[in-house]
Each structure stands twice: as structure tokens, then as C-alpha cells.
A and B are shown apart, each in its own frame.
Chain A
């Protein structure tokens, strides 16, 4: 079953149309990367899922229940981490978590044990100060702790890693990876290496619609190009090759690339053996999310 299903979602701000019929389905227990450049409508989509924005058209189902703007009962299934989480600065981290726990109706004992567990998980176990003095990374980590407090079925994170340094980013990604067993994670980002690191599924958002969506591995194989890169020992040897194979494109001092449908790999390898050309490297180019992303955005 899909944890989250969005059909034909539309939203406009004034005369600017941000979402133009967005469709999205997030399968259960996936880590879903929601990718798009700045201003593509990622945050708008997430806020609409949470009932913080009113959609102009379309339908959102969270765990099979319809999302209603204003009084949003579906939020009990959701843990949300906004891009810049804001807490009550006069509270300490445990106080804030117990406030959140009481709101969601958890028992006192459960709050206590869950808070301790989560604060340890996010590395705030020994933090005694009020939130007033927290750094951005600390707030982000507390944000994850509060989002996970009531064991939500769906964890929504809005660019959780964008503002963090490499260490902070790794920590957050590790936490998201770790919670995958318990929940479904939907997170928006424009940092593609993060997606490759932890996501099972992805969707590319561009110009208000989702262009590509599916399992990361499927998408990668679907968009796999039959492209190879080879590197020779020196420039002369490369020239020798290029004289025979016109389809080779020079991409560096000793490197060139070619496509399988121009020349077969075996033809080239035979020529390499016959002429005793020293090969330093030959490899099949894996499609990166970056090339995919660029393709989607430029389409």
C-alpha cells in the first residue's frame, strides 16, 4: 500500500502557478527522495500534505485518509521536520519533547523513555541548556527527535541537510537510514549525493509536475546510456585510436568517450590488442542522478 498518494495536486499563489497537477505515490517503508531545484514547489507540496496550505485542486491521501486543510487529522500519522524548525526558545530539549508527547497524547512513562532514546539517537542526550542557545545543527537534530517521537508512519523532512556541514549531514542521513525500519521517509532535497546515499525511491519535481518517479535502481537502469570512457597511456596512442574510430570523442588529455552504437566495445578492444596500445582504464559510464536531474530540468 502507498503511505502517501497525491493525485493532480494544484496550487497557485496569486497568478503564479506553483503546482500544476502533481502526482506522487510513496510506498510504505521507502526512503523517498523528493528532488527539485530551489523554488520548484517542494516545500509547497509538503505543507499541503500537512494541511498547512490549502490546495486549489487535487487530492492527498495519507495512509488512505484524505487530508483536510485546517483541522488536519491525518497529521497524527505524520512526523514533520520543517526546513528551519522553530522551537520554544525558553524550553530545554527534554521539556520540548515532553510538550510534544503530551500534545499527541502519549503516556508519561512512554514520553520519558522515548525522549531519552531519541535524544541519545540524535546526540542531544547530555544537553541541559535551553533551546535559545542551540546551533542550527542542534535544532535540526532536535527537529528529527520531535518528528519521530510518536512513531509516525510517515516522516516528512523538508531539506533536512541543506544547511548543515558535512559532519552534520552525515549524522542526519545516518539517522534517516536507521529509522527506515520503523517508518516511511519522504525528504526533499537538491543535494543529489544525499539521495544516492540513502534513497530507495525518487521523484523529480520540475515546473510544478513530477517528471520521473520510481525505484532509484529502476530509474538508473532505465536511463543507462551505452557510453564508455577509455584512458590510454599517452596522447599519441589516443590519436591512433581516434584516427580509426571516428565516433570517439576526446574528453581529456588521454581520455575519450564513445557510445556502444557507434563502435562496439569488442572492435575497439581488438584494435587495442593488435596495436599494443597501453590502456589505463576503460569503463562503462553509470548514469548519475546529476545527469538525470539536468536532463529533467532542461527538458
Chain B
């Protein structure tokens, strides 16, 4: 336990001193502010462009925006946040492979599974904190400007998206134990998400896929019922656990 905490402390120190944590926090604050800001600015933007739109045959009538528009922006920007997160953190294992810094820690008797556990915990923690930080900011502005109650299943939909992020974190951990390079981690994680997305184009398969959880808009507009997401949630959680479970034996046998 003590060695696990020591390794996590080292991870924390690294994230803070390399400035990665700061960058992540800034990105997610910006995203959190952008969501309501874009919604708020939409009418004004359309008005500005009204003349040119009219020339092309479109008439702009008075546009009213609500909290829903801000939440649509939230779900539109969440992938950007997740991508930035993975880009910044994809080297969390591979950097140690390349520099050989793990060798000394492991030859000191640190159990290999503790390396995987502490990095997985740090990634999960950071994703959770950043994501909910972003959510809180958007939620706060939305309450101030409009009324959040018109968004249906709001908390359920954001929890779904958060779960999807957790799966991506688990995939990052898995591919980090499989691959020695940053590119391998990004390619592996990216391709898995892409495959899930492509299979999701088949309507019948959609409800079983983790990528369904990214579709928060249908939930807040109430076009689908929350119940229809349950299968996808189970599968996502199961897949995350499986990914992490595979990471341990793979890392145990890894040549460092």
C-alpha cells in the first residue's frame, strides 16, 4: 500500500511539475465557459450574418436560445476535451519505457501491478475532475442565463458521457501496456473508438455500443428514453473492467 501511494505521489508530482495538469485544467475551464458562451452568442452572430444569408435566400427571424443549446454545445465539445486529455496523457506509460525510469523502481521491489494501478487511478481521477469541473462551469452559467430544468435526463446524459470517457481511459491503459510508443497508444485507442462508431451505424447494433453514450442530445431533448441506454452502460463498464484486467498480465510480461 505504501509503495502504491509512493508511486502515485510520483505521478502527481510529474503531472504538476511538467505542467500537464495545469494545461488540462485550463482546457476544461475554457470548454466549460465556451458552451454557454457560444449559445449566448448565436443570435447575435446570426444577426450579424443576416445580410449575407438573405442574399443567399435565407431569412433570419428572431432566434431564441435556451439552456438546451448550451448543453448541445457541451456534448459537441466533450469529444474535444477527451481528445486533448488523451493526447496529453497518452505518454504516461510510454515515456517511462523510453527513458528506462521504471527499471530502477521495479528493481527496488515495486510490484508491477502497482504501476498499472497507480497510473490508471491518476488518469481516472484527472478525467473525472476535469470533466465534472467543465460540467459545473457550464451548469452554473446555464442556471444564471436560462433554466436547466428544460433539459431532460440531464444528469443521466452527462454521467453516460463520463462513463464513455472512462472506457477511453481504460483503453489508453491497455494499449499503453501493449505498445511501446505513444503513437501505438493513440492509434490503438482511436481505432477501437472508431470501430465502435462504425458498427454503430448499423441501427440494430447501436444500443449495444459504448459510442451510444456519446449521444447526450437525444437524451436531453427527450427523443429517446434513458432506459434504452442501459445495455450500452453495462457493456461500457464491462469493457473498461476487461481492458484494465488484461493490462495487468500484459504488463507483467512486458520487457522493460
> Contact: A99 with B10, CB < 8 Å?
yes
CA of A87 to CA of B2 in the docked complex: distance in angstroms?
20
Residue tally, chain A, CB below 8 Å to B: 29
Nearest-neighbour CB distance to chain A for B94, whole angstroms, equals: 14
Complex contacts, B106 vs chain A, CB 8 Å: 52, 72, 75
> Contact: A71 with B108, CB < 8 Å?
no
CA of A90 to CA of B252 in the docked complex: distance in angstroms?
26
Determine which of A76, A85, A86, A88 lies in contact with B109 in the assembled complex, contact meaning CB atoms within 8 Å. A76
Task: Name the interface size band of chain B.
Answer: 20 to 34
Chain B CB within 8 A of A146 CB:
yes
Chain B CB within 8 A of A293 CB:
no
Determine which of A50, A86, A150 lies in contact with B101 in the assembled complex, contact meaning CB atoms within 8 Å. A86
> Contact: A104 with B111, CB < 8 Å?
no
Quick one: CB contact mask for B1-33 with A, threshold 8 Å, 1 for yes?
011011101100110011000000000000000
CA of A54 to CA of B6 in the docked complex: distance in angstroms?
27
Q: A70-B112, A105-B3 are in contact. Are A88 and B107 (CB under 8 A)?
A: no
Complex contacts, A82 vs chain B, CB 8 Å: 100, 103-104
Determine which of B7, B13, B103, B111 lies in contact with A90 in the assembled complex, contact meaning CB atoms within 8 Å. B13
> Contact: B100 with A86, CB < 8 Å?
yes
Complex contacts, B10 vs chain A, CB 8 Å: 88, 91, 99
Nearest-neighbour CB distance to chain B for A266, whole angstroms, equals: 58
Q: A102-B3, A102-B5, A104-B109 are in contact. Are A87 and B104 (CB under 8 A)?
A: yes
Q: A71-B111, A75-B107 are in contact. Are A102 and B253 (CB under 8 A)?
A: no
> Contact: B13 with A103, CB < 8 Å?
no
Closest A residue to B253 by beta carbon equals A70
Q: A71-B252, A104-B109 are in contact. Are A80 and B13 (CB under 8 A)?
A: no
B contacts with A: majority SS: helix
CA of A242 to CA of B255 in the docked complex: distance in angstroms?
63
Complex contacts, B245 vs chain A, CB 8 Å: none
> Contact: B103 with A52, CB < 8 Å?
yes
Nearest-neighbour CB distance to chain A for B99, whole angstroms, equals: 5
Complex contacts, A99 vs chain B, CB 8 Å: 6, 9-10, 105
CA of A102 to CA of B6 in the docked complex: distance in angstroms?
6
Determine which of B100, B108, B111, B253 lies in contact with A100 in the assembled complex, contact meaning CB atoms within 8 Å. B108
Q: Which of A53-91 contact B (CB under 8 A)?
A: 53-54, 70-73, 75-76, 78, 80, 82, 84-88, 90-91
Chain A CB within 8 A of B117 CB:
no
Chain A CB within 8 A of B256 CB:
yes
Complex contacts, A90 vs chain B, CB 8 Å: 13-14, 17-18
CA of A72 to CA of B6 in the docked complex: distance in angstroms?
19
CA of A110 to CA of B6 in the docked complex: distance in angstroms?
15
Q: A50-B107, A75-B106 are in contact. Are A103 and B256 (CB under 8 A)?
A: no
> Contact: A103 with B252, CB < 8 Å?
no
> Contact: A86 with B103, CB < 8 Å?
yes
Complex contacts, B235 vs chain A, CB 8 Å: none
CA of A66 to CA of B112 in the docked complex: distance in angstroms?
18
CA of A87 to CA of B3 in the docked complex: distance in angstroms?
17
Closest A residue to B110 by beta carbon equals A103
Q: A70-B252, A70-B253, A71-B252 are in contact. Are A103 and B17 (CB under 8 A)?
A: no
Complex contacts, A95 vs chain B, CB 8 Å: 13
Complex contacts, A78 vs chain B, CB 8 Å: 107
Complex contacts, A54 vs chain B, CB 8 Å: 255
Quick one: CB contact mask for A33-62 with B, threshold 8 Å, 1 for yes?
000000000000000001011100000000
Complex contacts, A75 vs chain B, CB 8 Å: 106-109
Q: A71-B252, A86-B101, A86-B103 are in contact. Are A103 and B109 (CB under 8 A)?
A: yes
Nearest-neighbour CB distance to chain A for B9, whole angstroms, equals: 8
Complex contacts, B5 vs chain A, CB 8 Å: 102
Nearest-neighbour CB distance to chain B for A110, whole angstroms, equals: 13
Residue with the highest number of chain B CB atoms closer than 10 Å, among A50, A84, A104: A104
CA of A95 to CA of B12 in the docked complex: distance in angstroms?
13
Q: A71-B112, A76-B109, A102-B3 are in contact. Are A52 and B256 (CB under 8 A)?
A: yes
Residues of chain A having any CB pair with chain B under 8 Å: 50, 52-54, 70-73, 75-76, 78, 80, 82, 84-88, 90-91, 95, 99-100, 102-105, 146, 150
Q: 4 additional contacts, CB 8 Å, given A95-B13, A150-B108?
A: A85-B104, A99-B10, A102-B6, A104-B3
Residues of chain B having any CB pair with chain A under 8 Å: 2-3, 5-7, 9-10, 13-14, 17-18, 99-101, 103-112, 252-253, 255-256
Give me 7 A-to-B residue pairs in the complex whose CB atoms sit less than 8 angstroms apart, sorted by A's number: A84-B100, A88-B101, A91-B10, A100-B105, A103-B3, A104-B109, A150-B108
